[in-house]
Chains A and B, each alone.
Chain A
Amino acid sequence: MKSDDSTFVPHQSQLSATLSEVPWWLLVVMLVGLIMVYNITTNEDYSSIFSFLKNGVFITVRVTITAYIFAVIIGLLAGLGRVSKNPIIYNIATLYVQIMRGIPILVTILYVSFVLYPMIIDGVAWVAQSIAVIGLGDSEGFWANITASDINRMMGGAEYSMLYRGIMALALSYGSFSAEIFRAGIESIEKGQMEAARSLGMSYIQAMRYIILPQAIRRVLPPLGNDFIAMLKESSLVSVLGVRDITQLGKLYSARSFLYLETYNQVAFLYLTMTILLSLGVRALENRLKSGQ
């Protein structure tokens, strides 16, 4: 464009600016969504796939939320350990974080499910037996002869057992990511805050609890939210344990019906819908926190 067109330029650039502000990608997703909903309501294959996958949504959501709550608790504790001046606490926390970051999540899931979890159940059975025999002097009763499989049965049997293993593995993996988020959040608070708190006579724990963490948590909310989205996606890995989440049900249905395209279209779209809604939520939270400051 030459300079003699200059009266036109602002007009055009305004229009293109407006056009480039439209979230086209979201419109595309919504269009695909409409087509999907249309198919589900009119096409018999699609609707029977959907009613099969629906049950998996509950499992996926349940795995994600439960594992996430544990991950945040583990992450907070490990994050506090990572900023601790006590070398024992610091090294335990660092060892945990490094181990979890260095192992693929899929391997963690397999390891926790088939090594760690059985060991813990065996341990619980052993402790229960010991308490019954030594503590209560009862070597005949139920508790004295309890086995690992008894405990598994008491916890809801094979199906739930695998669910718990998957949740534990995801919580341990993501706990290490949350730990680093908390560590960075705590370290981002100016040193003067801790010094001012200590100079008023607060203990280290009081200063953390009342001064440092309340400020750090505001800063870590957006990255923690992103981790929730990542975990929702990664929860699909528990399908290797046979946990009947969206992915596992998709595998089962497509293998049975050979409707691969129709099934995996819906599997993918279910995840996409959830993650996009969540990421819009995280962005809104981010904006609120920014304007709040």
Chain B
Amino acid sequence: MSDEKQMLEDLSQQDYKWGFVTAIDADTVPPGLNEDVIRFISAQKNEPEWLLAFRLKAYAHWLTLEEPTWQKVTFPPVDYQAISYYSAPKQQKKLDSLDEVDPELLDTYEKLGIPLTEQKRLAGVAVDAVFDSVSVATTHQDKLAAMGVIFMPISEAVQKHPDLVRKYLGKVVPYTDNYYAALNSAVFTDGSFVYIPKGLKCPLELSTYFRINAENTGQFERTLIVADDASYVSYLEGCTAPKRDENQLHAAVVELFAHDDASIKYSTVQNWYPGDKDGKGGIYNFVTKRGLCAGDRSHISWTQVETGSAITWKYPSCVLKGDDSVGEFYSVALTTKHQQADTGTKMIHLGKRTRSTIVSKGISAGKADQTYRGLVKMGKGAESARNFTQCDSMLLGDRCGAHTFPYIESQNASAQVEHEATTTRIGDDQIFYCNQRGIETEDAVSMIVGGFCREVFKELPMEFAVEAQKLLSVSLEGSVG
């Protein structure tokens, strides 16, 4: 990430601080969750009545739910009453210097070639912002606005485009969807809102990097992307550098809505802090991501490269409602050390001739455990729908695990589902061959793994792909020896 971008994000914190001057006495609520807290959040954000009602309904529903336990991950119970659900956006406790940061994390920054100031920002060390750089973001914002693109924090969109937000919020992921989605709907504090007008192919890749106020969206982030008829957008989420965060639990919701002939490409490179070598301090990432291909011939594509988190629980999914709509899921998930991941996707085919492709590449090393869980559902109306699933696991060493659970439900005899799965180990013969050419074992491993992931990497925007490859190499260091 460039200095400029970094400065922007620092600046955005400044901004927020000033913005909240009046609320300074009440910028955090005590830990715990109840209706009053939700009313407080809503009031702080000056939200319209309907949004408060949405939050309260979600909360009431959440109370009736139990934390899911079906996923193949284990962790100590989360105390939801110990979390503080609102603090003024500058919520990360700042450290005074890099000396207070986990040395292993710093080592990783070093290897990824991240500049010092950027390292500080990521690790949560206070940095001064430079004011000039606001112009860069503004330029992008102006360009986008001129084209009719709306790209802003969702809390701002609630104020400026209430009707649009109201029309789509919760339509793809209703608050009743699952435990974490209900919680998110009740207490989300911020996130991004994107609207692409009819017929527009958005020429910029939208990334939170150049969205002002991108930082500190907190643990309950909410993203909503709407692509109107025949529009196109590519959205990038995340950052290759591991992020340290005070908040252990992250329960984001991402909703994508594609109208007729619209196309949304959503790419994520996520590298949350997995915890120290004993797995302490890592992030729990329980996110609900879903895209609705509402319109005919619409297209939604999820690409993700996940290497972080202590625990990951996510299933970016597509509901293929429009006829001839297309859903894609390309995923690389790497788990090392003590990480646990239960990921996969759901492709729900409702419309005629809908097509979906799933390519999942899982890599496990160390004592990590990884599960792929995929559901392909062919509804009654899914005439001649097709799915192709390719699910490959690679194991490094013999103390890690990989599990595959493909679920197929078909209510339409004309629909076709194809599933291929492989499990490989990095071969000694492959490493020996590389070594014989003078190549170090660690480099050999990253070549072999990189080759294994190529089908997914090529779906990523170019520079993201390069970063992802580098990230993988760094994450794999010391995994084979």
Co-complex (A, B): no
